[in-house]
Chains A and B, each alone.
Chain A
């Protein structure tokens, strides 16, 4: 059992860190009455969710519950069929201009990192700023190095993704998103494709990001992470938000039976 496993699975006492991370009244994401179907399959049902600026939300639930689909709807990787999603005051519609605008404001990290294997680490990080934000190359490289230092891999800048370990690749993926100076970060199971000893380095990066006040939506099963940084934990099942609460309440006094069952399974071993 590594230290990471302990942090991940055994609920640790809440740290005083959270008080330092302020949540403002400003609304970052507003989802109302949102529904989505894959063909005949009703994946998301009547989702209502308001995220304030600076809030850190962890979404959990059994597989197939629609949690990944939910955050993928926020930057229009998946299209929703009914209801409204407003991100940073811009409503998601089929208008491509709006979609590209929202995507450049919302960073996303994937389970399988999805780095561009034909580009170096540095080029991975500078590509979008140069081509989408029209930042001069020198400046984009300086920004990229700044964020690569933040995720503690500046010395790998000229390597290719294939030469890095999984944990390093995921940290590069986070740096790549940050280079676009996003106001919101989405994480889609960022640690579930990693070996246990690499999970910690990625979670540490995410924690330091949270401490800087980044608005974060995170699909993860790392309950230790949820306790430590989340303001709110959302439990989803069968396409619905079943329960949401502050982490203390959520873990200690789950209200619905499904939440209790899920928590007993995930924390039980």
Chain B
């Protein structure tokens, strides 16, 4: 003890006596188990039953995974290897189907010599989406995000570059159109001009001009038809386009539903109720079968594009209601404070109301995103080759006839990774935007 108190003045203890260890029942795992698993007789019984159930499930699943056969040419070959290795009838997963057909499951029937294009598109997607998701990424990259959709379509579908450049040129024309219209007459006319001029340009100038340029200077990529698109890539294209488009449309619909202008209010309500009240599968059949009858003869309107539009409309109706909930949750005082400072409607919405309403709605918005993303598998019913469609196609071959679980586990894992990522991002965002300090 004497060295312990070497530097100690008589009335203040500077060096402490080491703490004694608490008994085993008050420490670490033992304590935790006593408190959480065996706190009473009833809980102890439940714990034992639960453990038995988990063990039973694992006993059936683990060998199946453990005995997986990863490289075989067909289900029959798989079974032969299994019988030779693990004995006849042993549980064994045949993930060879994934190693054999993963390229199809991911990319459909996209020509294999052109695989670099979807891969590039995916990498660029990461670059384009980063500045939107994270504020720390340099803001200048947003310009790339803006042109990315057009670049992606060109990379995947190919063809000469001219129509794509002219589409971008149409957007660029909107800017001077707005400036001239707004300066000459009124801001509202500027907005109308900014919408009308590009549309007129695309409808009347683009087709002949791009035709002429394409035949004069055929610069571009090899064209890939829509029917070659499939697999997870197709789900991803439909899902991401739907997500990116349904949020702004949903915001407009939610604002429209709150509007005092009777016409806008009625149109918004009718759109929301109609879209939401009819099953998505009906809308998809409408897109694949009926829409062609309504379009002028001779227009070819890509099926993938039609599906994207329908999925967007469907999701935006849900989105509008989610955002309306956020708008309704804001106290009236926020609207009044914005008004009393002289902010006009759009500025009040953009700077005061929507930032708060969207923040409140984040869980609901992401919920809708996740639902939309998983609903893209419904396109299998109109003959598009999404992963489910491809799993049917793969099963239809003699090699893989009769294989179910392995394909569905793979597809399920792909979707789970994407949906889980969205879910985590939404939690991160909520945490980041938290300013109320409750």
A interface residues with partner B (beta carbon < 8 Å): 75, 77, 96, 100-101, 103-104, 106-108, 110, 112, 114-118, 127-128, 131-132, 160, 162-163, 176-177, 180
B334 x A180 contact (CB < 8 A): no
B436 x A162 contact (CB < 8 A): yes
A35 → chain B, closest Cβ, in Å? Answer: 22
A77 x B340 contact (CB < 8 A): yes
Contact partner, B334, options A77, A116, A132, A160, Cβ 8 Å:
A116
- Bound Cα distance A16, B334 (Å): 39
Asked if A112 meets B333 with Cβ closer than 8 Å, knowing A117-B356, A162-B437, A163-B437, the reply is: yes
- Bound Cα distance A75, B338 (Å): 12
B interface residues with partner A (beta carbon < 8 Å): 331, 333-334, 336-337, 339-344, 347, 351-352, 355-356, 359, 433, 435-438
Which residue on chain A has the smallest CB distance to residue B337? A114
- Bound Cα distance A266, B433 (Å): 44
- Bound Cα distance A128, B333 (Å): 16
A117 x B342 contact (CB < 8 A): no
Given contacts A131-B343, A160-B437, 15 further A-B contacts (CB under 8 A): A77-B336, A77-B340, A103-B342, A104-B341, A106-B340, A107-B340, A108-B340, A114-B334, A127-B341, A127-B352, A131-B351, A160-B435, A162-B437, A162-B438, A180-B342
Query: Can you give 25 A-B contacts (C-beta < 8 A)?
Result: A75-B340, A77-B339, A100-B344, A103-B342, A104-B341, A107-B340, A108-B337, A112-B331, A114-B331, A114-B333, A114-B336, A116-B334, A116-B352, A116-B356, A117-B436, A118-B435, A127-B341, A128-B342, A132-B342, A160-B435, A160-B437, A162-B437, A176-B341, A180-B341, A180-B342
- Bound Cα distance A79, B334 (Å): 18
B351 x A103 contact (CB < 8 A): no
Which residue on chain A has the smallest CB distance to residue B338? A116
- List, in ascending order, chain B residues with CB within 8 A of A108's CB: 337, 340
- Bound Cα distance A176, B341 (Å): 9
- Bound Cα distance A117, B434 (Å): 10
* Interface of chain A, main secondary structure: mixed
Which residue on chain B has the smallest CB distance to residue A164? B437
B336 → chain A, closest Cβ, in Å? Answer: 6
A118 x B336 contact (CB < 8 A): no
Which residue on chain A has the smallest CB distance to residue B437? A162
- Bound Cα distance A177, B338 (Å): 11
- Bound Cα distance A132, B348 (Å): 11
- List, in ascending order, chain B residues with CB within 8 A of A176's CB: 341
- Bound Cα distance A96, B336 (Å): 15
- Bound Cα distance A142, B341 (Å): 19
B355 x A118 contact (CB < 8 A): yes
Which residue on chain A has the smallest CB distance to residue B336? A77
B340 x A103 contact (CB < 8 A): yes
- List, in ascending order, chain A residues with CB within 8 A of B341's CB: 103-104, 127-128, 132, 176-177, 180
Which residue on chain B has the smallest CB distance to residue A160? B435
- Bound Cα distance A128, B338 (Å): 8
Which residue on chain B has the smallest CB distance to residue A75? B340
Which residue on chain B has the smallest CB distance to residue A123? B351
B336 x A128 contact (CB < 8 A): no
B2 → chain A, closest Cβ, in Å? Answer: 53
- Bound Cα distance A130, B4 (Å): 67
- Bound Cα distance A119, B438 (Å): 16
Contact partner, A96, options B331, B337, B344, B352, Cβ 8 Å:
B344
A170 → chain B, closest Cβ, in Å? Answer: 13
- Bound Cα distance A42, B180 (Å): 48
B337 x A115 contact (CB < 8 A): yes
- List, in ascending order, chain A residues with CB within 8 A of B340's CB: 75, 77, 103, 106-108, 177
A100 → chain B, closest Cβ, in Å? Answer: 5
- List, in ascending order, chain B residues with CB within 8 A of A101's CB: 342
- Bound Cα distance A180, B337 (Å): 13
- Bound Cα distance A164, B337 (Å): 18
- Bound Cα distance A75, B339 (Å): 9
A132 x B339 contact (CB < 8 A): no
- List, in ascending order, chain A residues with CB within 8 A of B334's CB: 114, 116
- Bound Cα distance A160, B435 (Å): 7
- List, in ascending order, chain B residues with CB within 8 A of A100's CB: 342, 344
Contact partner, A110, options B336, B342, B351, B356, Cβ 8 Å:
B336
- Bound Cα distance A177, B341 (Å): 7
- List, in ascending order, chain B residues with CB within 8 A of A114's CB: 331, 333-334, 336-337
B262 → chain A, closest Cβ, in Å? Answer: 16
Which residue on chain B has the smallest CB distance to residue A76? B339
- Bound Cα distance A213, B352 (Å): 31
A116 x B337 contact (CB < 8 A): yes
Which residue on chain A has the smallest CB distance to residue B342? A104
The 3 closest A-B CB pairs, nearest first, are A104-B342, A114-B337, A114-B333
Which residue on chain A has the smallest CB distance to residue B333? A114
- List, in ascending order, chain A residues with CB within 8 A of B333's CB: 110, 112, 114
- Bound Cα distance A18, B435 (Å): 42
Which residue on chain B has the smallest CB distance to residue A97? B344
B120 → chain A, closest Cβ, in Å? Answer: 38
A110 x B343 contact (CB < 8 A): no
- List, in ascending order, chain B residues with CB within 8 A of A177's CB: 340-341
A162 x B342 contact (CB < 8 A): no
Asked if A118 meets B433 with Cβ closer than 8 Å, knowing A110-B337, A127-B351, A131-B351, the reply is: yes
- List, in ascending order, chain B residues with CB within 8 A of A131's CB: 343, 347, 351
Which residue on chain B has the smallest CB distance to residue A179? B341
A132 x B355 contact (CB < 8 A): no
B360 → chain A, closest Cβ, in Å? Answer: 10
- Bound Cα distance A117, B436 (Å): 7
A128 x B343 contact (CB < 8 A): yes
- Bound Cα distance A103, B341 (Å): 6
A118 x B438 contact (CB < 8 A): no
- Bound Cα distance A107, B339 (Å): 11
- List, in ascending order, chain B residues with CB within 8 A of A118's CB: 355-356, 359, 433, 435
